[in-house]
Structure 1
Amino acid sequence: MKYLIWIVAIVMFANTTNAQEKLPVIVPYNPQDIRELYLDSKNHHTTFKIILHEDTSAMYTQPDTTKRSLVHRKLFNEHLLEFRNKDYNVFIDFLPDFQVGKSKDGSRTTWLNTRGAIIQANIGEKFYFESSFFENQGKFPGYLDQYIRKNQIVPGQGGIKDYSNGKAFDFNYANALLSYTPNKYLNVTAGYGQNFIGDGYRSLILSDIQFSYPYLKLTGTLGNVQYTAMWAQFMDKHSKDFAQAYDDLGYYKKWGVFHFLDWNVSKRLTIGFFDAVIWPDADSSGRKRGFDWSYMNPIIFLRSAEFSEGSSDNALVGLNAKFKLLPKTTIYGQLVLDEFKLKEVFGGKGWWANKQSAQLGFRSFDIFNINKLDLQGEFNAVRPYTYSYKSTMINYEHYNQSLAHPLGANFWEVLGIATYRLKRWYGRGEIMYSKYGDDPDATTNYGHDISRPYTIRPKDYGNWIGQGIKTQLLYAQGTVAYVLNPKYNLRLEASLAARQLKNNMDTKNDLIFSFGLRSTFRQFYYDF
């Protein structure tokens, strides 16, 4: 990673633009604002998130000059601390997440105590950075408690320590971002956080459901084409015993390189091409490999480079597309190929290494002509063994969570999400139904758990989605919130969720109510 830092420094301080050129401040979009990109008549690049844009309000607008008290302004309209200047702006906020609730017919009390802080700033017109840190203690609903204890991680939020005599968990996490935009054609971003590739709620290419990781991202834009190359370092918590033997340097590391070419073919159609390679930091014998400089090649489709190295690195390719069907309706989809043999795909025999996934969905805005009433529908299907490998040292996973879908593989899913905003009121409803095939024991792998090696599969042919213990998952949630301060999404929020997991062996039901004072724009995914 130290070599990547040197690359960032070289690019940042290279004389890449005329000193007289004046550019607006480049900052990230908040997720809530991305809907405006889909409604714009211009076809924007909306797929690779975090999305940066030319700032028009957050940095250079003047503070509220109306005759309001300091407490009123800070609670409802301003950042906690604001330092505004023509040459730089700095904003600091306290980010609480205090929740209390009941689950499973009121028999289990749940709670969350999060104290977070964030600093956001621009230096001149080309540099933007932000950093946040969160300290947490919490007690979760039964199904999440079981997941956390099994995987030793709170979904998307880091490893755990026992708290309150083992009845709750203590955990923390941090994010950081440094962005440099020397001109309108190039952006360099170094960060510690998550990325997302797709136009849907889920991503089968690269999702943001997991714990933070360090990355370096170069994005070039020329006309209707945007090209992104990203290098990242991931951790494999499953191989802890091996990591202890390997110089006792903590969890085992692995590397990833991602390329994404996004082409706005027309005002309505966008097509994106994707590839990725995951490789281990060291082999199973402990021999150090580190960052493989052959993967610094920024050109897309590195399968040829990976093959020429004579390696068995884990390579994926994919396709993302969106089409504006109507002025306020966009359809989108994804296709990922983890393994592909044309003969086997069309042979129809269910070869185990037909490892593919697909997505199809839509976004509709202002439905029934009601302003800010939006609807999203989505279908996802992932064949058995997709994203898995012989070992977790090289599978498509980070910190015990998938880099793609939270359900792993060997499933299909359909979901619908409706949101509505009225002034500072916000409502959201979601329903998700999925069928997947689970494993009967630890010695058999039907392809659902991507952390398990595909070498223990029971058969080479006759592998279909849902094989194994046929399981049905139903999840529904309704949320109502009042936004106290839109600057950092401070809100009072109430939520009610119902979850049912059913198969031939058991039926588990959860009814979860929660209420709290919450903030930040990041979403956590508990609908699995």
Structure 2
Amino acid sequence: MKHIWLVTVLLVSFFGNAQTLSTYEKPPVFSECDSLAVNQLKSCFNFTLNSFIYDNFKTPEIVSEEDYNGDIQVLFEVDKEGGFKVIYVDAIYDELKEESRRVFDALPQIKPATYNGKATFVQYSLNIAIPLVKPVEEIIKDEDELSNTVNLKNRDSLNATLSDEFDNINKSLKPYEGLEYSSQLNIPFTHSYYSRFDDEMNAIGTNSHTAAKPFIQADVAKYYDIKAEKESLAKETDSWFGRKLYNEHLVQVQGKDYWFTVDPIVDLQLGGETEGDDGTWNNTRGVYIQAGLGKRLNLSTSVYESQGRFADYFNTYAESLKAFGPDPAVIPGRGIAKRFKENSYDYPVAEAYLSYTPADFLNIQFGHGKNFIGDGYRSLFQSDVASPYPFLKLNTSFWKIKYTSTWMWLKDVRPEVVVDDAFLTKYMANHYLSWNVSKRLNIGLFESVMWADTNGRGFDVNYLNPIIFFRAIEFQTGQGAGNAILGLSAKYKWNNKVNLYGQFILDEFSLSDVTGGNKSWKNKFGFQLGAKYFNAFKVDNLLLQAEYNQVRPYTYSHNTQILNYGHFNQPMAHLWGANFRELVLIGRYNYKRWFADTKLIIGQRGFDFNIEEDSFSYGGDIYRDYNDRNSDTGITIGQGNKTNSFMWEHQMGYLLNPETNLKVFANIIYRDFNPEAITSSTADSNTLWFSLGIRTDLFNWYNDF
């Protein structure tokens, strides 16, 4: 960790000094400015451009009729040939956007900017005030001074012009062009961030496949321009510190056949809760690196060093996940935690992957991280609630099909399965076929199998076949050799504002028992039904979501306990395991850099009593042997220690840096947890938890246990 920080500091020092110099020799030049001195070219460019807009812009009738006062924000580029290209336009009326594009299309070709004597491109953002104000010419002698009559900000993407001693290095560098947004890298998966482009990805006619996550940047770029969105949010600042804090990666470098970015990771929180007296806090520091080699190979790595203490209910759950050994807890979604001081935790985490695209229809990823399959907040197939794990994933796209195959190396960390003080390795393989049946309807087929090193077979090559049915392989390899699960998903685009989605998971099914109406334990299945309402009630960027999840007892469990659907004592699907029903209501809103998320979760669960008089498994704990069940028939959701729960979580904040997803936020949670019987493993809880913090938001935190 110390070596990583040393490299980062050296890079920051090197490029920080370099960026204090001019990013180009001359700005673009209109013919009207040819005779001026170099230090007057910028102000002349500003004045000429604004004069052209003033003379040619025709205010649409709808704007005139409503006596509109406001701005049009235009992000544009002057390319190496001196041509103008509009990248992004933001305005309240579509007519204003269309007129802005028309005016920029009418601009003449000019002399391009130069860098080291060679033509280069530059990018700018421009605010056009409505009603229009005639520009006033003002000659600027200082190149860095901007006219107060022209609101034009240079967004040149060139990162550094190095001093003479680095001339050889400088010749190999290029302006950083944001190649990450067209790369084969994953977009870090958080529900709040993905909601920003969920609307565009799910519009009728897009034929995008949205269940298998995280998404690849190049796939999303077909439907939504993330690069343009982030550039449109850029703050006006001329200082190096301001650019790095608000607009750019800390280090961003591009050469002929490579590029890379380096950013710090932070998650600093302070808070308090009503059930504990020691306060809550978190202190995460780390480094996040993204890189590309050529056009088809990309890599990413993130390393975290963290200490923290959370709300009492969170700490209790983390300690209930304790692995074999002296360490007291497993932090949900992160990993094993050592004791820090008297009542806190130290939990380091590292995630990384390689992404290679040998052909346009195939992407291969190998790394250590998480995956998610589904269109909802929860997934009954595969979720990201467990700790990171090694994986190999193939994404194949052709015709109306996207086919995802994933192989994973998981761990059972319970003391009873440890061999020679080492955690038990088990394996999991998934197939997910997504088929766009029409412009509105998508159907997905899912299968998964879990197996262990039975009879020394290790990673069974039978399951490497990416197109075979796991049920057939499971049958051929012997009874009890694996645990296979089947699933069906669907998504229907009701219109461009409302999407319906759902999942059905099948672990085991007995038709005779279902028709017999005796509520057999063998009927192990669950389902999800949900809806998303985009730009709800005609409010831009307001997403409303409702989702219902239900899973019967004993689903995901097995009579060979190591074959349960879990990893590091956490479920690989729904956070609650099985034997539950749940209603989730979510609202998300963002305006420029501001955001707010609200979530309500109402649920009913059935827990085991875990007492001498009643030690039966009631089907909620997927790590229990289903042969320990309380009955063969009369099995219902919520059986056992029936518990009703209610949770409200609200977060609001400000996006400091769109490039790194660095945000400041305030978060409040109210949780009411009421079991029918108070036992050593299930306690009554009523919590109010409030936190303030700053976070590089790269993964989902789930607090709704």
The reply to whether TM is greater than 0.5 is yes
> In the alignment, what sits opposite 2:476?
308
Q: CA shift at 1:62, angstroms? A: 10
Q: CA shift at 1:431, angstroms? A: 0.3
> In the alignment, what sits opposite 1:90?
260
1:225–1:264 CA contact under 8 A, matched in 2: yes
> In the alignment, what sits opposite 1:197?
373
Q: CA shift at 1:244, angstroms? A: 3.1
Q: Distance in 2 between matches of 1:93 and 1:410?
A: 42
> In the alignment, what sits opposite 1:230?
406
> In the alignment, what sits opposite 1:182?
358
Q: Distance in 2 between matches of 1:527 and 1:410?
A: 16
Q: CA shift at 1:24, angstroms? A: 5.5
Deviations 1:371-417 (A, max 9, x none): 10101110000000000112431110001100001111100000101
> In the alignment, what sits opposite 1:29?
187
SS where residue 692 of structure 2 aligns? strand
**Compared with structure 1, are the counterparts of its residues 125 and 437 closer, same or farther at alpha carbon in structure 2 (3 Å cutoff)?**
same
> In the alignment, what sits opposite 2:58?
none
Q: Distance in 2 between matches of 1:468 and 1:66?
A: 60
2:204–2:495 CA contact under 8 A, matched in 1: no
Q: Distance in 1 between matches of 2:498 and 2:364?
A: 32
> In the alignment, what sits opposite 2:419?
244
Q: Distance in 1 between matches of 2:280 and 2:235?
A: 42
Q: Distance in 1 between matches of 2:632 and 2:702?
A: 33
**Compared with structure 1, are the counterparts of its residues 441 and 106 closer, same or farther at alpha carbon in structure 2 (3 Å cutoff)?**
closer
Counterpart selection for 2:335 from 151, 158, 162: 158
**Compared with structure 1, are the counterparts of its residues 195 and 456 closer, same or farther at alpha carbon in structure 2 (3 Å cutoff)?**
same
Query: Which amino acid is the alignment partner of residue 307 of structure 1?
Result: F
2:381–2:573 CA contact under 8 A, matched in 1: yes
The structure showing larger relative contact order (alpha-carbon pairs under 8 Å, at least 6 residues apart) is 1
Are 1:274 and 2:446 an aligned pair? Answer: yes
1:391–1:452 CA contact under 8 A, matched in 2: no
Are 1:382 and 2:558 an aligned pair? Answer: no
Q: Distance in 2 between matches of 1:37 and 1:268?
A: 12
Structure (1/2) with the larger helix percentage: 2
Deviations 1:189-248 (A, max 9, x none): 11211100100000000001110111111111111011111111100011x344233xx4
Q: CA shift at 1:503, angstroms? A: 2.4
1:278–1:394 CA contact under 8 A, matched in 2: yes
SS where residue 345 of structure 1 aligns? helix
Alignment of 1:396-411 (within 5 A): 396-411=565-580
Are 1:290 and 2:454 an aligned pair? Answer: no
1:180–1:187 CA contact under 8 A, matched in 2: yes
Counterpart selection for 1:355 from 518, 521, 524: 524
SS where residue 79 of structure 1 aligns? coil
Q: Distance in 2 between matches of 1:304 and 1:345?
A: 24
Are 1:373 and 2:549 an aligned pair? Answer: no
Over the matched positions of the two proteins, sequence identity in percent amounts to 40
> In the alignment, what sits opposite 1:499?
671
Q: CA shift at 1:452, angstroms? A: 1.1
2:204–2:439 CA contact under 8 A, matched in 1: no
> In the alignment, what sits opposite 1:18?
none
Are 1:103 and 2:278 an aligned pair? Answer: no
SS where residue 394 of structure 2 aligns? strand
Q: Distance in 2 between matches of 1:328 and 1:86?
A: 43
**Compared with structure 1, are the counterparts of its residues 24 and 515 closer, same or farther at alpha carbon in structure 2 (3 Å cutoff)?**
closer
**Compared with structure 1, are the counterparts of its residues 356 and 57 closer, same or farther at alpha carbon in structure 2 (3 Å cutoff)?**
closer
Q: CA shift at 1:347, angstroms? A: 2.1
**Compared with structure 1, are the counterparts of its residues 137 and 66 closer, same or farther at alpha carbon in structure 2 (3 Å cutoff)?**
closer
> In the alignment, what sits opposite 1:392?
561
Query: Which amino acid is the alignment partner of residue 603 of structure 2?
Result: S
Q: Distance in 2 between matches of 1:75 and 1:171?
A: 27
> In the alignment, what sits opposite 1:46?
210
1:274–1:301 CA contact under 8 A, matched in 2: no
**Compared with structure 1, are the counterparts of its residues 180 and 412 closer, same or farther at alpha carbon in structure 2 (3 Å cutoff)?**
same
SS where residue 516 of structure 2 aligns? coil
Counterpart selection for 2:596 from 427, 438, 452: 427
2:275–2:312 CA contact under 8 A, matched in 1: no
**Compared with structure 1, are the counterparts of its residues 106 and 425 closer, same or farther at alpha carbon in structure 2 (3 Å cutoff)?**
farther
> In the alignment, what sits opposite 2:285?
115
Are 1:259 and 2:431 an aligned pair? Answer: yes
SS where residue 185 of structure 2 aligns? strand
**Compared with structure 1, are the counterparts of its residues 115 and 392 closer, same or farther at alpha carbon in structure 2 (3 Å cutoff)?**
farther
Counterpart selection for 1:212 from 384, 388, 394: 388
> In the alignment, what sits opposite 2:308?
138
> In the alignment, what sits opposite 2:638?
466
Q: Distance in 2 between matches of 1:105 and 1:467?
A: 28
Q: Distance in 1 between matches of 2:311 and 2:226?
A: 40
Q: CA shift at 1:306, angstroms? A: 1.1
Q: CA shift at 1:67, angstroms? A: 6.1
Deviations 1:304-325 (A, max 9, x none): 1110222311010001110001
**Compared with structure 1, are the counterparts of its residues 58 and 502 closer, same or farther at alpha carbon in structure 2 (3 Å cutoff)?**
same
Query: Which amino acid is the alignment partner of residue 184 of structure 2?
Result: I
Q: Distance in 2 between matches of 1:465 and 1:103?
A: 31
Structure (1/2) with the larger strand percentage: 1
Q: Distance in 2 between matches of 1:95 and 1:67?
A: 22
Q: CA shift at 1:108, angstroms? A: 4.0
> In the alignment, what sits opposite 1:487?
659
> Structure 1 unaligned runs (5+)?
1-22
SS where residue 39 of structure 1 aligns? coil
Are 1:338 and 2:502 an aligned pair? Answer: no
Q: CA shift at 1:267, angstroms? A: 0.5
SS where residue 144 of structure 1 aligns? helix
Are 1:439 and 2:615 an aligned pair? Answer: no
> In the alignment, what sits opposite 2:250?
80
Counterpart selection for 1:126 from 272, 280, 296: 296
2:203–2:493 CA contact under 8 A, matched in 1: no
**Compared with structure 1, are the counterparts of its residues 65 and 488 closer, same or farther at alpha carbon in structure 2 (3 Å cutoff)?**
closer
> In the alignment, what sits opposite 1:19?
none
Moved more, 477-486 or 340-349: 340-349
**Compared with structure 1, are the counterparts of its residues 137 and 125 closer, same or farther at alpha carbon in structure 2 (3 Å cutoff)?**
same
Q: Distance in 2 between matches of 1:332 and 1:320?
A: 8
SS where residue 436 of structure 1 aligns? strand
Q: CA shift at 1:106, angstroms? A: 6.9
State the structure with more CA Rg: 2
The size of the alignment, in residue pairs, is 496
Q: Distance in 1 between matches of 2:586 and 2:488?
A: 24
Q: CA shift at 1:296, angstroms? A: 1.4
**Compared with structure 1, are the counterparts of its residues 104 and 392 closer, same or farther at alpha carbon in structure 2 (3 Å cutoff)?**
farther
SS where residue 317 of structure 2 aligns? helix
Q: Distance in 1 between matches of 2:203 and 2:265?
A: 30
